[in-house]
Amino acid sequence: MDFNNLNSRIIRLYKSLGKHYDKDIRSSMRIDREITGDIHSISISFGAQDEFDLTNVVMETIGGIADLKDHLKNKLKGKNQPIQLVEDLINNSLELALITDLNNQEKHGYPLRQKSRTKLNPRILNLSQGLGVKGGETGSVQFTITSESAKYKSASDNMVLLITGQVVDDKDNFIITLDEMIVKAIIDIENFTKVHDLLI
């Protein structure tokens, strides 16, 4: 493993991000049937991971993004470009600044006692996993439902179990959704690596 290979780190980051979107709907689906007199009710729920599993997945991705900082600086240094460009990138991107603060809080505790990029003391609330549509306007899941049972049949390709959450400040004011923060941060990094020709 080459720890200095920026391309490898970016690929690993995308793989980490992929854990936010689980296509194996069937394995985390629960169907409950209840009969009360003549009334038959069927409840279908999705999402099997607990809060700790979800937190680990999210913090792995946040850490992967935040850890790119020094690698980007090293690449710039190798091209005789100022490393301050990386600090400027983070400071001018709310999403990257939030990720930096969240990653530092994971390492050092909450709230940060020293340098906070955002001064918001961000936290992630309401982590959950549920059925959703990835990268598309519509999606579908099909079931066979009778008075006796319900069975999973199929789902469109863009239906996934996705991890959601909200990023809030220290007063619980909403800042951004978890997904939006991560996607925008990755776009900012991708654009930066293209502008400065940092990838092979």
pLDDT along the chain (200 residues), means of 10: 69 70 74 79 72 88 93 93 97 97 92 88 92 75 73 76 92 96 94 89
pLDDT at position 1: 65
* Count of structural domains within the chain: 1
3-state class (DSSP) for residue 120: coil
pLDDT at position 82: 97
Range of the domain at 137: 6-195
pLDDT at position 136: 61
pLDDT at position 200: 65
In a domain, 95, yes or no: yes
- Check: CB of residue 30 under 8 Å from CB of residue 44: yes
Query: What value, to the nearest 5°, has the Cα angle with vertex 110 and ends 104 and 111?
Result: 95
In a domain, 97, yes or no: yes
Query: What value, to the nearest 5°, has the Cα angle with vertex 58 and ends 175 and 122?
Result: 30
Cα four-point dihedral sign 112, 114, 118, 119: positive
pLDDT at position 62: 95
End-to-end CA distance of the chain: 17
Regarding pTM above 0.75, the answer is yes
pLDDT at position 181: 96
pLDDT at position 145: 74
Beta-sheet strands, E only, within the chain:
21-22, 29-36, 39-46, 123-133, 141-145, 150-155, 159-168, 174-177
pLDDT at position 122: 97
In a domain, 134, yes or no: yes
Amino acid at 196: H
In a domain, 65, yes or no: yes
In a domain, 1, yes or no: no
In a domain, 200, yes or no: no
In a domain, 121, yes or no: yes
